[in-house]
Structure 1
Amino acid sequence: MFRGSATLNLDSKGRLAVPTRHRDFLQSYCGGRLILTADPSKCLLLYPLPDWEPIEKKLNSLSSFNPQTRSLQRLLVGNANDVELDSAGRILVPTSLRQFAGLEKSVVLAGQGNKFEVWDEEKWNQQNAEALVFRDGGMPPELEGFSL
């Protein structure tokens, strides 16, 4: 389970160092083999390969005759890149994905259970500010009765 966030820097070659606390697990769980892809929120999703494969299979099994489904298949599967942790615990973020998410130097790696989200730091801070206020003034029905 990935949780918490870390602010990191992309190096001049577009490499991102995965925090040390996650490296050993990723090496033992998936041999450091990961999938990095685009997300509709304009961030990137980073999955261990075993967790990505059923998602990709399900996406590819959906009908491509539905325009919304086809668009999501194009975005998620069409932008999926195999990346691997190098000996220094870094992954190379492909140029096309860096451009998609607006990643330049300072990025946030946010744990989201079975995956990470990779955000431009400024966009991440904006997302957090927006999360403090429900846009329509009401709480989503699935959160009714939820307590922290």
Structure 2
Amino acid sequence: MFRGVNPINLDTKGRMAIPARYREQIMGCCDGSLVATIDTEERCLLLYPLPEWEEIQKKIEALPSLNPAARRLQRLLIGHATDLEMDGNGRLLLPAPLRDYAQLDKKIVLLGQGRKFEIWSEALWEATRDEYLQVDEGNEIPEEMQTLSL
């Protein structure tokens, strides 16, 4: 499980170093093979260990291609999916089209989300996080979660 907010610097070649605390887990679950794609709702990237992505891709491919919303998801998620390999120094090279989509520059944030990571521009993450902290009618707690005790 990937958890936590990790500030990271992106180098001039577009490489990011995976924090050391995740490297062994990534090597154990997928031998450093990851897949990055775009998030269709936010300007960030989704980063999956290859086995996790393969399960998701099967579900996306099974959606009815004649349904316009399903076709949109297939085109965006699978179309932008890019195989990445963690190098011996624990770095990933993020391709320019993905960096451009997520508006990534030198300062980025790797956000653990359980079975995947999100990769954000630090500035976009801070603005989005602050938005999420504002409680209004548009982001009320779902009924299913109201019985949880944290």
TM-score with structure 2 length normalisation? Answer: 0.94
> Residues 110-141 of structure 1: CA distance to partner in whole angstroms, max 9, x if unpaired?
00000000000011111211111233164332
Aligned to 2:145: 143
Aligned to 2:30: 30
Q: Distance in 2 between matches of 1:146 and 1:132?
A: 19
SS at match of 2:54: helix
SS at match of 2:115: coil
> Residues 48-85 of structure 1: CA distance to partner in whole angstroms, max 9, x if unpaired?
00111010011011111111111111111000000000
Matches within 5 A, 1:11-26: 11-26=11-26
Aligned to 2:71: 70
The root-mean-square deviation of aligned C-alpha atoms, in Å, is 1.1
Q: Does residue 82 of structure 1 match 2:87? A: no
Letter in 2 for 1:65: L
TM-score with structure 1 length normalisation? Answer: 0.95
| Over 4 Å off, 4+ runs | none
How far off is 1:16 after superposition? 0.5
SS at match of 1:78: helix
Letter in 2 for 1:9: N
Letter in 2 for 1:89: G
Q: Distance in 2 between matches of 1:28 and 1:141?
A: 37
- Count of aligned pairs: 148
> Residues 12-68 of structure 1: CA distance to partner in whole angstroms, max 9, x if unpaired?
000010000001111121110000000021110000001110100110111111111
Percent identity reads: 50
SS at match of 1:51: helix
How far off is 1:146 after superposition? 2.4
Q: Distance in 2 between matches of 1:89 and 1:139?
A: 37
**Structure 2: gaps of 5 or more residues:** none
**Structure 1: gaps of 5 or more residues:** none
Q: Distance in 2 between matches of 1:82 and 1:28?
A: 17
Matches within 5 A, 1:1-12: 1-12=1-12
Aligned to 1:47: 48
